[in-house]
Amino acid sequence: MAIALLTTLYGALIANVFAIPLAGKLMLRRNEEVMIKSIIIDAVSGIQEGKNPRVLEELLQTYLPGSQRNTEEGEQSGTSPAGCT
């Protein structure tokens, strides 16, 4: 009976200390890899279809989070640098 309880305790410790965190990290890396591969597939298929490079750039920018997108609207908003009129 003591051996059964001890092995159950060891199993629970191994699961909570090693297996669950490792599974979470593997899932994050898998999600990143899936996103990267879908970006590559969309880019290559767009090039093969002969899409305009600017249209293709806009299509691929949708994969980025909003804070990382290189938007040109901010540059064209009409704001001038300090001291320039």
pLDDT of residue 67: 83
pLDDT tens-place string over residues 10-58: 999 999 999 999 999 999 999 999 999 999 999 999 999 999 999 999 9
Average pLDDT over residues 49-75: 82
Three-state DSSP string of the chain: CHHHHHHHHHHHHHHHHHHHHHHHHHHHHHHHHHHHHHHHHHHHHHHHHCCCHHHHHHHHHCCCCHHHCCCCCCCCCCCCCCCCC
Q: Tell whether the model's pLDDT for residue 76 goes beyond 60.
A: no
Whole-model pTM above 0.75? no
pLDDT of residue 1: 85
Delimit the domains of the chain by residue range: 16-62
